[in-house]
């Protein structure tokens, strides 16, 4: 290996996202990787080369040539890397990997297909034989895992976490129904637009299938073909005076061309991350006490439709004596907003008009304009009533209005806040009793 020549070539590589390919003296591909900055990533391999017998350095010792392929975005690089690994089975991509190391995207065979992520061990169950990393296995029909039929499998991918982030990016452009349940009732994804609502008949079967085809073409590495297809569709819709649909297709085209604005891989470890992306944050509050004793408060956090338990907070009431639920809630909110935590897009309080009036005044005094609602539940916690300010300071977006109309969804969120408060209250009671 002429290390000097390779290092000099690495310095001339583009500083763009893409994949890099290492070949040995026999011109065989021994490793494929992805990068947000090809020059920086490839150079890093040779900058600290020591020539030991460790696998990564043993690989570098065998590199005789370096090739790169630029991509429009890091997401494209992630997909291209997987397709090249499947096609060429490079030695050092496969070396030392066990059955749990690789993961795959799979499209289900349903009336309204879903896109899921499977481990290699689950792929084995589908095909009923040891699944090899090969381009020969593309379509799997009438085989089941947990009674689910899969029609198409894509991969392998080396990081399930990266796949989850990639799927979130793709889903913003081509939304799909992700739950096993065939309903959108109580689904925050539906209210936020990540699920187009096929079972609620908010999208036609044909249009839903178009979304799935779009995802499939992205995962096949056919984004350029997909863009051409969408551009032709947009022109036909415009010619037919279907301008609203044409605008929707135009937005998909724009999003596909600007994926690089929301994704990156850090040059140090090829870790896929999302930047410039807005998480819709809902904070739900509840109070738990027995006649004012052992009083505690809870803050449950939902981000983009899913509970983020790392963001949950619990409060031991310190300033309120006696059974004054409204004052306790006020203490919790005041303490919450004295912290530099990320502000919510919507606040939900377990309570009635008194809680709503108190919180509205507290937010006003703090100079905060955050959408707010109080959710009162009956004795059985099955029937709920929603109260909102008569003149909300910041107004309600369409997303928030949809959430507040969905009683089933609100119940699910408030039940989680209630569960968290009660569990903390029981812990406090137990510790005091001991």
Instruction: Give the model confidence (pLDDT) of 317-332 as tens digits.
Output: 999 989 999 999 999 9
**Which residue is associated with the tokens 């947009």?**
234
pLDDT on residue 392 = 65
Specify the length of the chain in residues. 434
> Taking a C-beta distance cutoff of 8 angstroms, is the pair 303, 283 a contact?
no
**What is the spatial distance between Cα 180 and Cα 358, in angstroms, rounded to a whole number?**
40
Segment 358-363 shows an average pLDDT of 93
Longest dimension (CA), the chain: 81
pLDDT at 56 over 70: no
Dihedral, CA of residue 80, residue 85, residue 87 and residue 92, to nearest 10: 150
pLDDT at 333: 97
Whether residue 314 has pLDDT greater than 80: yes
> Quick one: average pLDDT of 293-311?
91
* pLDDT for residue 143: 43
Least confident of 21-25, 165-169, 207-211, 345-349: 165-169
Position 382 scores a pLDDT of: 64
* Most confident range, picked from 47-61, 153-167, 382-396: 153-167
CA–CA distance, 39 with 375 (Å, rounded to integer) = 54
Round to whole Å and give the CA distance between 115 and 186: 20
Which residues, in sequence order, are CB contacts of 101 under 8 Å at separation 6+?
A: 120, 158
pLDDT of residue 69: 94
pLDDT of 73 higher than 90 = no
pLDDT at 130: 33
Q: Is the pTM of this model over 0.85?
A: no
**Span 99-130, pLDDT tens digits:** 456 889 999 999 999 999 998 777 666 544 33
Identify the structural domains of the chain with CATH numbers, from first to last. Answer: 3-70 (3.40.1440.10), 103-274 (no CATH), 281-427 (3.30.420.340)
């Amino acid at each position: 290996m002429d290390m000097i020549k390779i290092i000099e070539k690495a310095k001339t590589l583009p500083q763009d996202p893409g994949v890099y390919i290492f070949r040995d003296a026999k011109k065989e591909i021994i490793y494929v990787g992805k990068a947000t900055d090809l020059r920086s990533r490839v150079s890093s391999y040779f900058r600290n080369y020591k020539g030991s017998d460790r696998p990564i350095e043993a690989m570098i010792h065998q590199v005789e040539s370096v090739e790169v392929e630029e991509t429009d975005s890091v997401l494209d690089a992630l997909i291209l890397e997987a397709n090249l690994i499947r096609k060429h089975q490079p030695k050092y991509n496969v070396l030392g990997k066990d059955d749990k190391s690789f993961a795959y995207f799979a499209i289900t065979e349903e009336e309204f297909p879903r896109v899921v992520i499977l481990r290699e061990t689950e792929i084995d169950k589908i095909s009923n034989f040891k699944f090899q990393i090969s381009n020969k296995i593309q379509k799997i029909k009438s085989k089941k895992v947990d009674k689910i039929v899969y029609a198409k499998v894509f991969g392998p991918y080396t990081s399930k976490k990266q796949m989850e982030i990639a799927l979130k990016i793709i889903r913003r452009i081509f939304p799909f129904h992700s739950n096993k349940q065939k309903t959108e009732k109580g689904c925050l994804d539906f209210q936020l637009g990540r699920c187009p609502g096929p079972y609620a008949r908010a999208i036609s079967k044909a249009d839903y299938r178009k979304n799935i085809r779009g995802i499939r073409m992205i995962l096949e590495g056919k984004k350029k073909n997909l863009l051409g297809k969408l551009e032709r569709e947009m022109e036909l819709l415009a010619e037919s005076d279907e301008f609203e649909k044409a605008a929707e297709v135009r937005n998909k085209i724009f999003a596909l061309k600007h994926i690089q604005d929301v994704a990156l891989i850090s040059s140090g470890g090829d870790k896929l991350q999302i930047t410039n992306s807005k998480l819709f944050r809902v904070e739900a509050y509840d109070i738990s006490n027995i006649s004012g004793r052992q009083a505690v408060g809870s803050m449950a956090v939902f981000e983009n439709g899913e509970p983020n338990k790392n963001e949950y907070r619990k409060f031991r009431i310190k300033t309120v004596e006696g059974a004054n639920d409204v004052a306790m809630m006020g203490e919790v909110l005041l303490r919450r907003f004295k912290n530099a935590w990320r502000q919510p897009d919507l606040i939900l309080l377990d309570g009635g008009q008194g809680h709503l009036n108190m919180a509205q005044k507290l937010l006003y005094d703090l100079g905060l304009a955050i959408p707010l609602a109080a959710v009162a539940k009956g004795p059985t916690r099955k029937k709920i009533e929603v109260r909102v300010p008569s003149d909300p300071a910041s107004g309600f977006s369409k997303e928030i209005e949809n959430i507040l109309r969905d009683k089933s969804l609100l119940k699910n969120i408030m039940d989680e806040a209630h569960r968290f408060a009660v569990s903390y209250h029981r812990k406090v009671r137990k510790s005091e009793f001991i």
